[in-house]
Structure 1
Amino acid sequence: MSKKTLNLQTTGPNDTHAEVMGKLFVDGVLPLALLAEGFAGGYSGAECDLTAMHARMETAADAAASGDLGGLERMLAAQAQALNLMFTELARRASANMGQNLTTTEAYLKLAFRAQAQSRATVEALGEMKNPRAVAFVKQANFAQQQQVNNCTPAPAREIQNPQNELLEDARHEQITLDTRTTRKASRSNPAMEALGAQHRAEDGAGQSKGCGK
């Protein structure tokens, strides 16, 4: 039979009972000790002292915090063995109901496979604890052949362009001046530079001009 009396030790001369209980519950070890005591008290003939269990769990927690994982490794190894025994017993019960009650057989098989999966997960956790996997931090992987990736390089700020202003600027600096005046008639001040008039054009379709001898 379990002893549910917990002997508390004050950490300071002025600590009250409420303050000590608050620290223990926030620390996290005492609630788990109470939970473990509740499950352990169900065993026939088992006697569990709550104060001793709390002290033992505090020792294990302090060892794990300091880097000593030996206690946790032993715990995981024992859990894997216990889960394997659960799988064996559940599978045996499923086999005993095979051919008689299909629903019961299926229920036992589901529970057996769950216990097997938990046992495997516990073994994997133990293996990773003993041999941690190397973690590679990859920022970005480049699988393209023509792709260039510049990590940690800030992109240059793009210059904001205004197409309308550019068009106005080009029109202002490269403006073409058009002569909008009316066309005047050519004067005869320089006949030599005058266009061919009526007296120099051909008289007939033969291409002979006036005043030119044959």
Structure 2
Amino acid sequence: MTKETVMSSNGESKCYFIQLQIDGYLDGDLSEAQQGVFMSHVQDCSACASEFRYAQTIQDAVIELPQIECDDLVLEPVYELAAGGRLGKDEVHRDSLIAQIGGLLNSVPLYFRYGFSAALVAVVAVVVSFSVVTPIEGPETLVASESVEQYSREDIVQALHELNVAMDYVSQLSQRTEVMIGDRFLVTPLQDSINASFQRVRTREYDPLQNGPI
């Protein structure tokens, strides 16, 4: 084995060792002496400097992603799994069924709750109007049945058809509202944030490596 081969092998081993320390450096887990050795090598090695810039860019992009706020009731199973079952049953707070339902309803956007309520009221109104049109005859109304207007089978079928059309419309309206809300308040901000992060990545590729953390 020649001297050049030995030097090349040692250099690759050192680069491999330095690249393993990139995550520790970005997380602040290295000591001051280790940080000095790390930065000294990165400044002299273009390959390690490229890996360091790439890892730092990915970390910055992840940190700048929007955070989704979840209700505590939704995250409660996650907290229990993270605790590893160490919490006793007496230590885990259990809300009543009514409180849990109220918390889930509060986590739903206000405009969506109002829209769904309005759609539900419309369906109930259609059902009530149909019930008024075709009342159930009791014993006291049989006597005056001859003076009450009778409805044919075709009229009843038509009324049922109109009810189904109204319910389908309400269902489609609810789906369109849900898609619109998701696109406007979740998908679009997330896409904008990701695009901005990658734009900063492309800009940073043209900047020289600075001394110390970027």
Asked if Structure 1 and Structure 2 have the same fold, meaning a TM-score greater than 0.5 normalized by the shorter chain, the answer is: no
Structure number with larger C-alpha Rg: 1
Larger helix percent: 2
User: Please, what TM-score do these two structures have when normalized by structure 1?
Assistant: 0.24
Which one has more relative contact order, counting CA pairs under 8 Å at least 6 apart?
Answer: 2
